[in-house]
């Protein structure tokens, strides 16, 4: 049975972008939403999941994360808007 790894982008109303990798996307997004960890996402209230992709290879996930972090803001925005043009929170209905 293969593991699944996620490359994800979080944002806020101001469209600040955070890029991360997780092996449990629902848990990781919940941690960000509940402000459980100090850091960039807590400081800027980055709690909206605006993009994610998945792979079964952790090396590929980390490589993709680094690639995205090296992109210009314009390219990151284009990636998000290619699947989520209104920047909706893709995890909005995940938690009760």
pLDDT in tens, 75-91: 999 999 999 999 999 99
pLDDT at 44: 95
Asked, for residue 94, whether it belongs to a domain, the answer is: no
pLDDT at 38: 87
pTM: 0.94
Asked, for residue 68, whether it belongs to a domain, the answer is: yes
- Write the CATH number for 75: 3.40.1440.10
The end-to-end CA distance of the chain, in Å, is 29
> Which pLDDT tens digit goes with each residue over 21-70?
999 999 999 999 998 878 999 999 999 999 999 999 999 999 999 999 99
Structure tokens at 60: 């590929």
Asked, for residue 70, whether it belongs to a domain, the answer is: yes
> With contact defined as beta carbons under 8 Å apart, do 19 and 69 qualify?
yes
Domain count, the chain: 1
> With contact defined as beta carbons under 8 Å apart, do 4 and 26 qualify?
no
Residue 96 has pLDDT above 80, yes or no: no
> With contact defined as beta carbons under 8 Å apart, do 21 and 7 qualify?
yes
CA angle at 31 for the pair 38 and 48, rounded to the nearest 5°: 95
Domain that holds residue 9: 5-83
């Amino acid at each position: 049975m293969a593991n699944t790894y996620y490359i994800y982008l979080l944002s806020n109303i101001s469209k600040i972008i955070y890029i991360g990798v997780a092996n449990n996307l629902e848990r990781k997004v919940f941690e960000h939403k509940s402000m459980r960890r100090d850091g960039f996402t807590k400081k800027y209230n980055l709690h909206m999941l605006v993009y994610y992709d998945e792979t079964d290879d952790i090396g590929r996930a980390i490589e993709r994360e680094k690639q995205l972090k090296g992109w210009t803001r314009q390219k990151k925005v284009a990636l998000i808007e290619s699947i989520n043009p209104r920047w909706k929170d893709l995890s909005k209905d995940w938690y009760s």
